[in-house]
Structure 1
């Protein structure tokens, strides 16, 4: 399917589709908790971005959620839609967001997400060269976040593998940080700007 064909579909259908090199990938609808915690993470990222820009005007950042990221310099038939993200400010209003401008993407994982779904999308982000991937696990027995993990891009993954062994994905993510609600200091990470999020800001 092309982007032009996607635009001809009813909005309620088109909004549930990603295009992976023209292949239709259906997005799963998560529970209400998924939307709540996506909003919490986006709001926290936006607050941190604004604080960073108030201290230094050297960089301009935007935090967003459920925004299409188009791969490559042109074309729109290859894109993903993360739950939340941070990107460089774009030159003009309503400009398409390209993966080269994205610094951070995040997914809020619902119990319905399968490991294969998670790994496939993570591989897409890595292949696009997005530096940091956040993964948010929801608790199964309560409306709460169970853990947050941050992965950093390793763009030359597999260089030292034994002869005859090949990797499935040439770019991959390595676990950089992990937090649970037992970490009383909350979330602290310094890319692409200082991110400080107390757990109280992420409550249901």
Structure 2
């Protein structure tokens, strides 16, 4: 079985076309306003921080009756006028009744992007605006330094009226303290050890 190279994909794509892609190929892209965006494979340290943060978030008490925490899972932001989905590094969402169902924007409570110097602009501009537009209450950006240490974690809360994020807290260590949706402390060192 030959796998189609990502370079051979069309520049634009519908949701139906995306759903027909082989899983290995689908994992290499996001679709924004119908346009295919190729996602680079992140460094192991990036993935490790995201995985450990997801585990820590899952262990904290929550204000919701039931949550799930996943890494690297598609979240459909909107279908019209053009299909858009992102794959946040971490997503906290309300429990879904259907097994195997992926969260949509309306289910999502927190999205997290682990941002290296090469992705900072997209994480702080494009993704931030898109996540706010669909009403996700909390957006965290873990800012990594050149050696993949955590420089800071930006905590944005949604201004629902304006449909944009406001910087709520700038966490510079040694602990990320959350007081919205999930409640508790996560030491930076547990994410980077």
TM-score (norm 2): 0.83
Q: Distance in 2 between matches of 1:24 and 1:119?
A: 18
Is the Cα contact below 8 Å between 2:71 and 2:90 reproduced in 1? yes
Bigger radius of gyration = 1
RMSD: 2.4
Aligned to 2:165: 173
Q: Distance in 1 between matches of 2:120 and 2:192?
A: 25
Q: Alpha-carbon deviations, 1:97-120, whole Å to 9, x = none?
A: 111111100000012215145411
Aligned to 1:12: 24
Q: Distance in 2 between matches of 1:11 and 1:59?
A: 32
Name the stretch that deviates more: 126-135 or 22-31: 22-31
Q: Distance in 2 between matches of 1:133 and 1:45?
A: 13
Q: Distance in 1 between matches of 2:131 and 2:89?
A: 13
Gaps of 5+ in 1: 158-170
Q: Distance in 1 between matches of 2:32 and 2:97?
A: 26
Aligned to 2:159: 154
Secondary structure of the equivalent of 1:42?
Answer: helix
Q: Distance in 1 between matches of 2:171 and 2:190?
A: 14
Q: Distance in 1 between matches of 2:29 and 2:123?
A: 14
Matched, 1:98 2:104: yes
TM-score (norm 1): 0.79
Aligned to 1:85: 91
Is the Cα contact below 8 Å between 1:17 and 1:27 reproduced in 2? yes
Q: Alpha-carbon deviations, 1:117-159, whole Å to 9, x = none?
A: 541111110111001100001121x3321111100112333xx
Q: Distance in 1 between matches of 2:79 and 2:22?
A: 27
Q: Distance in 2 between matches of 1:21 and 1:139?
A: 30
Gaps of 5+ in 2: 1-12
Q: Distance in 2 between matches of 1:111 and 1:10?
A: 31
Aligned to 1:200: 189
